[in-house]
Amino acid sequence: MADATGAGGCELKDVVRVTQPTTHAQHAPFLATCPLALGIAEFEHRYVQPAAREVFGERVTRIEHVGSYACRNVNHQKDTGTPRWSQHASANAIDLTGFVLADGKRITLAQ
């Protein structure tokens, strides 16, 4: 995507919209920096799928998340003059909430 300044003044640079599954698992589309997009793909390939097969005997078919881009300060703190931008403010973080296995079982992440 083209570099832009989002609502609230957060800069989006070198971001992509991830719309298709990276390897095996589906997910809702999200904005991500190139390193985050690559990191999610590697995380799934190296850790998520092997762990799911080892522990549950199934592959993950869906990675669930609540998004990546949010123009905000760290921990939603109020602006105290010099904002400490969250990694979400530049689409360089994503909050995963769970996984769905091939047999339909849902694994939910707490906190």
Span 7-32, pLDDT tens digits: 677 888 888 888 876 566 777 888 89
Confidence of residue 82 (pLDDT cuts 50, 70, 90): low
- Alpha helix segments (H runs only) across the chain: 34-43, 49-56
Compute the distance between CA of residue 22 and CA of residue 49 in angstroms, rounded to an integer: 12
Q: What is the mean pLDDT of residues 60-84?
A: 76
Read off the pTM: 0.79
Q: Buried b / exposed e across 13-43, counting CB within 10 Å, b at 16+?
A: eebeebeeebebbebeebbbbeebbeebeeb
| Cβ atoms of 99 and 52 closer than 8 Å | yes
